Amino acid sequence: MIDQQILQLTAAAMFFMGLAGLATTRNLVKAIMSFQVVLFGVNLALFSSGLGPNGPTMFSTALLVLSISIGASIEAFALSLVILVYRHYGTLNPWEIRRLRH
Amino acid sequence: MGNQEASTLNNYYPEWLVWLLPLIAVVFVPVVSALGGKAREWFAALVVLLAAAFAVTLVPIALSGGSQLSMAWLPISGFRLQIRVDGLSVFLALIVNLLGFLIVLYSQGYMKRETGLTRYYCLVLLFIGSMTGLVMAGNLLQMYIFWELVGICSSFLIAFWYDRPEAVRAGLKAFIVTRVGDVGLLIGLILLYVNTGTFSFDALETMAGGGKIAGGILLASGLLILLGAMGKSAQFPLHVWLPDAMEGPTTVSALIHAATMVNAGVYLVARVTPIFGSSSIWLGVVAWVGIISAILGATMAGATLDVKRVLAYSTISQLGLMFLALGIGSPGGWFASQFHLMSQAAFKALGFLAAGSLIHLLGTRDMNEMGGLGRKMPVTFIAFFFSILAMSGVPPFIGFWSKDLIIAELHNAGDSTLFILALFVSVCTSFYAFRAFFKVFYRKQSDLVKSKQIHESPLAMAIPLGLLSIAVVTLWLVEGGASRLLGVVEPEAASPWIYAASLGALLIGFLPAYAMYLRQSPEPSQLVATHHWISATRNVLLDGYGFDRFYDRVFASTVTRLGSAVRLIQTGSLGKNMWGFLLFILIVALVVLAL
């Protein structure tokens, strides 16, 4: 199925774009946006792999909804952490926040 | 047992609400606490009281044979939510919620000056709700979910004072040690599921009864599930977390030791006995794990100086006796274990709450710094005294009846080794119990006690103490009711010889404690100084038989070393880590393509 392949390639592309964004960004808010792109890529992959002959199956849809809602809550949590990080360090640059390393 | 399909909550309120209510209430604790501290405390107490009331309304259902509600859950995967209402589950639900209520009530006084009480009450409600959910679960998977919830709540509560390094360490230790058992449990129940296709206790019982499960699989999964129970119930060799768990607030210790956590393991073994009980190897392992833990706990309790540790070691030992009773494999032994569970829950809760009053007042847990407190705190004195009497098994206190049931069953089973070892545990129990009692309340007043303004605890703390004190004297009256509820024929009165043997053991343990710690002749410190073997034994016992050091050296240091090796690749900067991750994916992709 050519449709499924297109979806999967898009998903892979989104996944790597998101990772590249995470690797290069100097702003935590942008890092979360990149992370969101990764998650959407994963969700898309999940969706495409659950495609049956008559469109998406019930099981894959249920899993997809679950995955999306978990992703949303993770992002909300990450955003709240970013606010705390900003209050604590006064910066959003992840390269400068290395205190946990030591 | 009738099976009912419950598509909605309608008509089955108690079955659902007895465990759902505390879980739902967790969310509302922060909301209510906005109204003030008093509102939060009463809200928590009321919720647990309501849950206890629901548990009481389940008793008639359980008496009339029990029922099982089931409801589709994750319909695609075919799992079902099953709520099992039978004697065992209702019995445990009653213990959990009634004791939970008293402990929450007691918290009002004990935790008054603490901060972070919203967190405390959230966790306590979650703890009680999950424990009730655990006992009401009709299949292993559902039980496992609550099992993990109970575990995480207990470790968070042990580490309640998170600014104290020992408390955090103890919480982590409880989490990690029980995790060892939980991994076993998880593997065991997956093994069982793969081979039978069901998690439901009912179906598993029928299959095991009909010989449809291969013996090897049954034994392997039975032993793995037992490992989980040993972790939760602090049985040898996974008992090391329980004494350290004393770093938490005393109310938390009471919850863990009496109402929730440690009972889960005994409950699980009792629940799966119909499934695995046909194997004599499995029963033998249960019994021997029990008796070894009972001996270890009872001996260590005789040496420690920390009043809460005495109670903690005593819990290990009493739980060991319950495992021992389960390992007999007879219906009488099964009943004896559950009856002893109730009895232990009552007198251990009383012991902890009374010890909590002392600690609250003195600010120390060292028994050498106590002494001479008898006249000054009458309520606490009586409460602690009753708890000690019940613990050591003085008639007519509850501990006497329940321990005697176990000893009589051992005698009936005809295993003289286990019988004699159980009597030895009895001797040790009465020694350590009276030793703690004399050390705390008699002798001369210590400097610390003289320097403090001694006064009785506030009413919110005294009421639970009073109620529990009445309970440990009168609970033996419910033996007939408990056996009807659990669906076991009430055991006949044991022969007088059994009573004589257990009272003799009691006396043998009591006399040295009386001589050394009340009459002070011979003086315990002089005995240690003059007899080399006594001081050597004492050091081994104080060291906890070296389990901690052994685990530290073998497991903890290995993990730490591995950790510091892995730490080198943690750069601490997001960008660099991400490039590493990309590289990893690239390598994996290349390997996959090459294959």
Residue owning tokens 């003195």: B362
Cα–Cα separations (whole angstroms), residue B43 to B171, B207, B406, B427: 27, 45, 40, 44
Q: What is the pLDDT of residues B478-501, one digit of tens each?
A: 887 888 888 787 767 667 888 888
User: A91: phi > 0 → left, psi -120 to 50 → alpha, else beta; which?
Assistant: beta
Q: What are the extents of the domains in chain A?
A: 2-93
The CA distance from B245 to B250, in Å, is 10
Least confident of B178-187, B237-246, B311-320: B237-246
Q: Is the pLDDT of residue B10 over 60?
A: no
Which of A20, A23, A101 has the CB atom closest to B570's CB atom?
A101
Mean pLDDT of B127-142: 90
Alpha helices in B197-248 (DSSP H): 201-209, 215-232, 241-244
The CA distance from A35 to A18, in Å, is 6
With CB atoms and an 8 Å threshold, state whether B573 touches A95: yes
Mean pLDDT of B565-571: 78
Q: How many helices (H) and strands (E) in chain A?
A: 3, 2
Mean pLDDT of B169-192: 90
Chain B residues closer than 8 Å to A100 by CB: 572
| CA-derived radius of gyration, chain A | 17
Which of B570, B572, B582 has the CB atom closest to A19's CB atom?
B582
Least confident of A86-95, B83-92, B137-146, B436-445: B436-445
- A-proximal residues of B, 69-98, CB under 8 Å: 76
Q: Count of alpha carbons within 13 Å of B256, Cβ hemisphere only?
A: 33
* Disruptive mutation site among B76, B77, B574 for chain A (greatest number of A CBs within 10 Å): B574
Mean pLDDT of B294-298: 90
Q: Is B581 on the interface with A (CB under 8 A)?
A: yes
Q: Is the pLDDT of residue B136 over 80?
A: yes
Q: How many CB atoms lie within 10 A of CB B547?
A: 17
Query: pLDDT tens, position by position, for chain A (102 residues)?
Result: 567 888 889 999 999 899 888 888 888 899 999 999 999 999 999 888 888 777 778 888 888 999 999 999 999 999 999 999 889 888 888 777 766 665
Q: What is the pLDDT of residues B208-239, one digit of tens each?
A: 888 777 888 888 999 999 999 999 988 888 88
pLDDT value for B18: 86
Cα–Cα separations (whole angstroms), residue B316 to B68, B153, B205, B404, B579: 33, 20, 29, 18, 50
| A interface residues, B as partner, C-beta within 8 Å | 16, 19-20, 22-25, 31, 58-59, 62, 94-95, 98, 100-102
Chain B residues closer than 8 Å to A58 by CB: 76
pLDDT value for B110: 81
The CA distance from B9 to B4, in Å, is 12
pLDDT value for B412: 83
Q: Is the pLDDT of residue B472 over 80?
A: yes
Helical (H) or strand (E) element with B262: helix B261-276
Looking at chain A, which residue has its C-alpha nearest residue B569? A101
DSSP reduced 3-state for B392:
helix
Q: Residue B125 in contact with residue B44, Cβ under 8 Å?
A: yes
Q: Which is more confident, B370 or B17?
A: B17
Q: Which is more confident, A8 or B197?
A: A8
Which of A58, A62, A98 has the CB atom closest to B573's CB atom?
A98
- Confidence category of residue B450, pLDDT binned at 50, 70, 90: low
- Confidence category of residue B444, pLDDT binned at 50, 70, 90: low
Share of chain B above pLDDT 90, in %: 15
CA B242, distance to chain mean position in Å, is 9
Q: Is the pLDDT of residue B345 over 60?
A: yes
Prediction pTM value: 0.84
Q: Which is more confident, B445 or B242?
A: B242
Least confident of B238-242, B372-376, B425-429: B372-376
Question: What is the SS3 assignment for B84-149?
Answer: EECHHHHHHHHHHHHHHHHHHHHHHHHCCCCCCHHHHHHHHHHHHHHHHHHHHECEHHHHHHHHHH
Chain A residues closer than 8 Å to B579 by CB: 23
Mean pLDDT of B275-279: 85
The ipTM of this complex is 0.75
The CA distance from A62 to A42, in Å, is 15
Handedness of CA A21, A23, A29, A33 (dihedral sign): positive
Chain A residues closer than 8 Å to B570 by CB: 101
The CA distance from B192 to B199, in Å, is 8
Q: Is the pLDDT of residue B261 over 70?
A: yes
User: B393: phi > 0 → left, psi -120 to 50 → alpha, else beta; which?
Assistant: left
The CA distance from B149 to B151, in Å, is 5
The CA distance from B472 to B405, in Å, is 16
Residue owning tokens 């009168």: B474
Q: Is B573 on the interface with A (CB under 8 A)?
A: yes
Looking at chain B, which residue has its C-alpha nearest residue A102? B572
Q: Residue B322 in contact with residue B235, Cβ under 8 Å?
A: no
Q: Which is more confident, B516 or A27?
A: A27
Give the DSSP letter string of B149-172: HHHHHHHHHHT-STTSHHHHHHHH
pLDDT value for B453: 67
> Given strand B2-5, what is the order of strands in its sheet?
B2-5, B67-72, B80-85
Q: CATH classification of A2-93 is 3.40.30.10, yes or no?
A: no
Q: Angle B117-136/B140-158 helices, nearest 10 degrees?
A: 160
Q: Kindly report the nearest CA distance between residue B475 and chain A, in angstroms.
A: 48
Q: Is the pLDDT of residue B413 over 60?
A: yes
Cα–Cα separations (whole angstroms), residue B309 to B49, B105, B370, B445: 29, 23, 15, 22
With CB atoms and an 8 Å threshold, state whether A95 touches B570: no
Residues 6+ apart with CB under 8 A from B595: none
Residue closest to B203 by CA, chosen among B35, B79, B101, B118: B79
pLDDT value for B256: 87
DSSP reduced 3-state for B302:
coil
Chain A residues closer than 8 Å to B569 by CB: none
- Confidence category of residue B373, pLDDT binned at 50, 70, 90: low
DSSP reduced 3-state for B4:
strand
Q: Count of alpha carbons within 13 Å of B111, Cβ hemisphere only?
A: 26
